[in-house]
Chain A
């Protein structure tokens, strides 16, 4: 089933250089901070305490042209309240600026507006927040336990969302199997996009409208959310996501800062801009993956996992993110724990716990990096316990018959779970590695190899979100396409790329259908005035869904062009082919598409009877979703004296179905792996017991640099799925989903002589060292 596409194509499958890059490498991109030049600067004064009552706010003497806005000034703004229809969801409210209490360090409390950034920072520095601190609850397990301080009175147990799934036969299987139990902890992450958040709002006196340029992933949704909070017509607000320097999920959510920018611009009929600095981004944007899982696998004597029973806690922070809600992490773990493995009996219990910490929001892979880490560690521990080779135990458990319905009713479409693993074993030369590992051990060096097999749910439409009972169900995408009178193709998309190269890949898809060069295709995105309503870019969806809609819309345009060509060439529509900017009848006459376009718009005449007066088409696509898959292999050397891990080799065998632009796919995989390596080894947001954040700069929250990320070899298999119109699968998150498990499995393999098993990510050097020390103390 895995094989290469059989039909030769003109544009799809080619490594054409990204169309967006020339402007970016020349420094001619337009990011929010470029657009903000000349606006008044907005600086937020943020809560210095994690929990407390606001007694008063002392303002300094204000120079002319300076505003200091507090919660009392914006009392008319509605709070942010995302909703879920079930799962015992408590609809907590996030104020735009609080009037009475603060809930986490970094919460915006006061907005200062001044002519320049420097003046705004000076005034912000002189604002005094008189807050009476109260006892904060920070730690996940403490917050979930009895007697914890209550963060929101409407949620007396701090549980905001709770789901439970249990198949009827689970208890029987647990009773009669070998139970392998592991306790898995994932520490808090920050997605750390290269460009931080930011927005520039400008009021147009003539129309009364506000334009908000913002570094976001979901411009249409942001417009809806802001208009709802302010109580203004959506038509009076234009949201534009210009060039966006990465998002990884952090830029999906509606943040109070954006509501306030639009409110300021509208109320004071002016231009205001806020550009987040790195410290704010680390402290006050959105965090993720602060989770604790207790995983019990029920194995038979052959190593077949017959049941899975998991308890999941997720720290959702102080408020619930909009629009996904804070269910996004716990409910994903609830439903998707089986990953690529077939398991008949399934039980999960997941809770989202509120604490006095920054808000949790989606981050590349959401819960799946943690779930994959847990499952892949479970496979290793079970293999050891049952004395089965760790590759063999996976062979016995991976899904190999498709479509496969999971215990939670998801359908896994055609994929290559087993084949990617076998290929990875071959590429990694496992026997050769074992020999090198042995030789190294004899010299006191510890090499290890780690495998991680994952599937990645991608390109899912509205049904998947409806299944989570979200009030707002993202999913479909619409593409409006037209050919201009001079023959270029313009496609207006609801999706909103932020670095993925979508302008290039969508152009390739359209070029394939319409037969024009990619250079003559313009992808128009990110502007609510110029694009149809859509959901933006997240959940490994854009290529599949916006790409699918592009293919459908471009197919309609191609039909229209063929119909017009048939009239002009006096042939049969079915004979017309579109190629290299021409419509031609094989062995007969031809005409350029430019001429057809000019004729349709300007000399309609007889053609109008056949095709009307324009070359506009549109399509909407809302698929069920498809699962891409991969096997990752990390080869590491662990320094037993320092606990340091160096990655010597990193291999990915990926199956993303049909590749539109393999170079872009490789880039997605490599970027994801780099973030996964950060998760595995380096990155951790740390709070002290009072809720003060200790990792407020890149000196303390430490993403990997070029020195820590090795070359990443990417190999491809291609299962051409029938689940999507392009036969393509999404590939945005797999790198970060699989990497932590591969790296930490490799560390444990390296430290086999010590018997070290790690279940916490990141596996920082001090944690590795502590594990070695503990192992040496227990078995001298």
Chain B
């Protein structure tokens, strides 16, 4: 359980980190919390020749509100979100999500940016990022660009980040008080990778749902949205029957992958239940 040999860099400025990335490109792997990378290296499933440790780079932590968005520094640890980081439905939602991420030691070390850069389809932050249509801001020695979540997740463990890019921020929409948000997942043990999860956000006006976002995780090679569940919700008044119908509509449109813990058919059952439960929570 020892990793293969690697070179280690610990830059102290963002410019230095970006210069190292520009120099080493695909040879290099960024390490922040290391909660996925280090086990993979110890199993020798990952063998990056060069590690760039960004823990000494200033300015990558913390959250701020800006132009209707919650801007999350990429190195912000999961544990930061255990208590609401913003007033309103989004802060509450993120706290509910954070409680489902692994265990306390992992939450105190793992980071949001590390999680989405790793792009494990069963990651809660990936599901939220995709489901709530976040923007991801990447930096390189040559500039800075914003990538919509829909383009960011390409396949399992693969994102749109270029080898010379560092993920700097994640920008989520700040929902107003007319939004209702919920999250549900099913994992076999407390803290395990979820077999399926759903995040929902609905804006209610005049007693009916006018806008909705539904994201699903753990069921395909990337986190996905569920336009079918959204379609079922729009224009309807929230009710238990509606939530069940949205779950059924969302699940029927999926064709989930199977593995040893969950067949595709079982995952479909879970998707249905998780959408429904996330909606129940949102409107509780």
Contacts and interface: CB of A to CB of B under 8 A. Distances in A.
Contacts of B243: none
A204 B260 CA distance: 49
Contact of A642 (B2, B260, B269): B269
B273 to A, nearest CB: 4
Contacts of A699: 192-193
B44 A642 contact: no
A697 to B, nearest CB: 8
Contact of A702 (B186, B192, B263): B192
A708 interface: yes
B273 A641 contact: yes
Nearest to B267: A766
B1 interface: yes
Interface in B1-43: 1-2, 4-5, 43
A770 B266 contact: yes
Nearest to B43: A279
Interface string B258-270: 0011110110011
A705 interface: yes
Contacts of B276: 641
Contact of B189 (A277, A695, A707, A773): A707
Interface stretch (A57-65, A114-122, A295-303, A500-508): A114-122
B190 interface: yes
Interface string A750-780: 0000000000000011100110010000000
Contacts of A122: 2, 4-5
B197 to A, nearest CB: 12
Contacts of A764: 188, 261
Contact of A682 (B189, B193, B273): B189
Interface string A258-283: 00000000000000000001110000
A686 interface: yes
Given A277-B1, A279-B43, A770-B266, A694 B190 contact: no
A121 B44 CA distance: 10
Given A279-B43, A766-B261, A770-B266, 10 more contacts: A118-B2, A125-B4, A279-B1, A641-B273, A682-B188, A702-B192, A705-B189, A705-B190, A769-B269, A770-B263
Contacts of B263: 766, 770
A641 B248 CA distance: 12
9 contacts: A118-B2, A122-B2, A642-B269, A694-B260, A695-B260, A702-B188, A704-B189, A705-B189, A769-B266
A117 B188 contact: no
A707 B269 contact: no
Given A702-B188, A766-B262, A770-B266, A121 B2 contact: yes
A508 B5 CA distance: 53
A289 B270 CA distance: 30
A644 interface: yes
B184 to A, nearest CB: 10
A122 B273 CA distance: 47
A700 interface: yes
Nearest to A116: B2
A312 to B, nearest CB: 26
A139 to B, nearest CB: 15
Nearest to A694: B260
B269 A773 contact: yes
Give the most central of A643, A764, A766: most B CB within 10 Å: A766
Interface string A632-666: 00000000011110000000000000000000000
Interface string A278-294: 11000000000000000
A122 B1 CA distance: 11
Interface of B: 1-2, 4-5, 43-44, 186, 188-193, 260-263, 265-266, 269-270, 272-273, 276
Contacts of B262: 766
A331 B193 CA distance: 39
A278 B188 CA distance: 20
Contact of B260 (A125, A279, A700, A708): A700
Which of the listed residues B4, B5, B260, B263 has the most CB atoms from chain A within 10 Å of its own CB? B260
Contacts of A279: 1, 43
A122 B2 CA distance: 9
Nearest to A277: B1
A644 B189 CA distance: 10
Q: Which residue among B192, B263, B266, B270 has the maximum number of chain A CB atoms within 10 Å of its CB?
A: B266
Interface in A160-176: none
Nearest to B5: A122
Interface residues of A, number: 30
Contacts of A125: 4, 44
Given A125-B44, A682-B188, A702-B188, A117 B266 contact: no
Interface of A: 117-118, 121-122, 125, 277-279, 641-644, 682, 686, 694-695, 697, 699-700, 702, 704-705, 707-708, 764-766, 769-770, 773
Contact of A765 (B5, B44, B188, B272): B188
B266 A707 contact: no
A695 B276 CA distance: 31
A277 B3 CA distance: 13
Contacts of A641: 269, 272-273, 276
Nearest to B258: A766
A462 to B, nearest CB: 42
A695 B270 CA distance: 22
B12 to A, nearest CB: 28
A117 B1 CA distance: 9
A278 B43 CA distance: 11
A708 B270 contact: no
B269 to A, nearest CB: 6
B217 to A, nearest CB: 15
Nearest to B1: A277
A770 B272 CA distance: 15
A465 B262 CA distance: 42
Contacts of A278: 1
A686 B273 CA distance: 27
A400 B21 CA distance: 77
Nearest to A766: B266
A686 B260 CA distance: 8
A708 to B, nearest CB: 6
A773 B4 CA distance: 47
B118 to A, nearest CB: 15
B189 A702 contact: yes
A769 B262 CA distance: 10
A702 B190 CA distance: 11
A704 B273 CA distance: 24
A125 B45 CA distance: 12
Contacts of B270: 642
B54 to A, nearest CB: 25
Nearest to A696: B43
A628 to B, nearest CB: 31
Contacts of B265: 770, 773
B190 A642 contact: no
Contacts of A117: 2
Given A766-B261, A766-B262, A644 B190 contact: no
A322 B242 CA distance: 62
B189 A642 contact: no
Contacts of A766: 261-263, 266
A764 B259 CA distance: 13
A328 B12 CA distance: 61
B4 A642 contact: no
A281 B26 CA distance: 34
A700 B44 CA distance: 17
Contacts of B192: 699, 702
A543 B191 CA distance: 38
Interface centre among B2, B5, B43, B273 (most CB of A within 10 A): B2
Contacts of B44: 125
B189 A708 contact: yes
Contacts of B260: 686, 694-695, 700
Contacts of A686: 260
A686 B258 CA distance: 14
A694 B258 CA distance: 13
